[in-house]
Amino acid sequence: MDLWFWFCWGILLVLQNATFTLVSRARNSSSLKYHAWASLLSNGVWFISNFILFGAFIDIMRNSNWWLAGGVGLFYVICTMAGSLWMQWFKLDKIKRAQAKRMLRGKARDRKLYHNF
């Protein structure tokens, strides 16, 4: 397993949990379309990343390399945790920005109403 493998798999794992977190957030929305797209992304990325994980575990079992097993497990946990945290931060930041815009529009509307009197 070369550096390119680990880099690509790491990106895929971050995306895997980012899209899974997106699905969790989509369940709380009223949009079925949003939930469907998020589910499609999450399940597609999960499917692809499991092929890579399965290949890594075949290597581990063939060579009885338990240090590699520990490294793969640690890498998997760190990358998937990073994906969840990144998506949660992204969605919360997006929500905060949307709320701030609504609040500013409301204040501008209030000033306009007050100014007209």
DSSP state of 69: H
56 C-beta neighbours (distance < 10 Å), count: 21
pLDDT (0 to 100) of residue 87: 83
CA distance 35 to 10: 25
Q: Is the pTM of this model over 0.85?
A: no
CA distance 90 to 11: 17
pLDDT (0 to 100) of residue 78: 92
Residue ranges of the chain with pLDDT lower than 70? 1, 95, 99, 104, 106-117
DSSP state of 110: H
Backbone angles phi, psi at 58, to 5 degrees: -65, -45
Give yes or no for a contact between 39 and 6, defined as CB atoms under 8 angstroms apart.
Answer: no
Backbone angles phi, psi at 57, to 5 degrees: -70, -30
pLDDT (0 to 100) of residue 74: 92
The token pair that represents 35 in the structure block: 């939930």
